[in-house]
Structure 1
Amino acid sequence: MRTTSSMARLAPALAMFVLAGCTESADQSASPEASAPPQAEAPLTRLVQDPELQWGACPDIFPAGCEITVLHGDSARPNADVFLRVPGGYQLPPHSHTSVERMILVVGELNVQYQGAPATLLTAGEYAYGPAGLPHVANCASTEACTLFIAFEGPVDALPFEGSIE
């Protein structure tokens, strides 16, 4: 019997607690700001032929003719996306990167060979993955320029490699 009277006294307090929680939840869900996830950056779309892209010279280890433009991020910080463009017939010398690189060939045909792996011919739309520190070479096999999209996990760099890629 005593349990029933204790429960009877607690029931109004419990009801108020539940109602207060429901009202607060309803207020928050009614607000679009409360339900939308915070947006740190605006969406971005870039075309390879965009005249507003700011092309510059590639790192010094590459011969003249190699150009690079940053699409997103800061090339000196992690997670930058770039386009790399070279003329037809251009040879990228043996090099490596301190970062992983994820690549998609956008224009042209590009031979890529990583140390210890067979050479692969990439055509437009094809993907390649390069582990950090693994030396490789590439050459633009087409007569037209080759443009490569590269996503770096670390800062953008290119380190010369002296040795065999085979």
Structure 2
Amino acid sequence: MSRINFRNTTGLLAIAASLAFTAFAGVSQAQESKAPAEAGQASQPAKSWQTGIHRTDLLKRDLDVSGREVVQVLVDIDPGVSSPKHSHPGVEVAYVLEGTFEYQLEGQPPVTLKAGESLYIPAGTAHVAKNVGTGKASELATYIVKKGVPAVELSK
């Protein structure tokens, strides 16, 4: 019989909420991107990333490697919305669940991925993820990062 330890569950929820807030807190200078134009229509400004990116923290656990943890997040991005340019204090593996993303990793040409495709992002590599499709795009982001360090560092 399984019992829920509410003390640990509450602590994990607080950590997850803190991680979600930290991930994109304080970024008011992000610029809006242009949504792809539909046939015969002019391109419209996309929604601001603050209202167009939805994060759901799924997991955060210590690894058996000293000073490292794994964090898993579901990221939903509205059409035409881009994340701010950022990096992580460890590697990220992005798996596209739905829609079409364009990933721009610093120093590399853009990569477009559709549902079922994955991308490895090396530790400290600045990058941007943009929904270039016409509907919602979702990715499962798995991070193996240093503990005690902000999960996201915004780039200029």
Identity of counterpart residues, as a percentage? Answer: 26
Q: Which residue of 1 aligns with 2:142?
A: 151
TM norm structure 1: 0.58
Q: RMSD of the TM alignment (CA)?
A: 2.3
Map residues 46-61 of structure 1 onto 2, 5 A cutoff: 59-60=24-25, 61=27
Structure number having the greater strand percentage:
2
Question: How big is each residue's C-alpha offset from its partner over 1:24-63, in whole Å with a ceiling of 9 and x where there is no partner?
Answer: xxxxxxxxxxxxxxxxxxxxxxxxxxxxxx9x76522352
Task: Tell me if structure 2 keeps the 8 A contact 1:87–1:144.
Answer: yes
Q: 1:71 aligns with which of 55, 58, 61?
A: 58
Helix, strand or coil at the partner of 1:63:
helix
Matches within 5 A, 1:78-117: 78-117=69-108
Shift of 1:72: 2.3
Q: 2:155 aligns with which of 147, 161, 165?
A: 161
TM-score normalized by structure 2? Answer: 0.61
- How many Å separate the matches in 2 of 1:127 and 1:65? 22
CA shift digits 1:96-143 (9 cap, x unpaired): 111210110001100001111100100001010001111111210011
Q: When you count helix as a share of all residues, which structure comes out higher?
A: 1
Shift of 1:80: 1.6
Question: Displacement of 1:64 after TM fit?
Answer: 2.6
Rg comparison, structure with higher value? 1
1:85 is paired with a residue whose SS is strand
* Structure 1 residues 67-89: Cα deviation after superposition (integer angstroms, max 9, x where no partner): 111222259x7112111111111
Gaps of 5+ in 2: 1-16, 28-48, 63-67
Distance 2:24 2:61 in 1: 15
Q: Is the 8 A contact 1:59 1:157 kept in 2?
A: no
- One-letter amino acid matched to 1:159: E
CA–CA distance in structure 2, aligned partners of residues 97 and 72 of structure 1? 16
Q: How many residues align?
A: 107
Q: List structure 1 segments (4+ residues) > 3 angstroms apart after TM superposition.
A: none
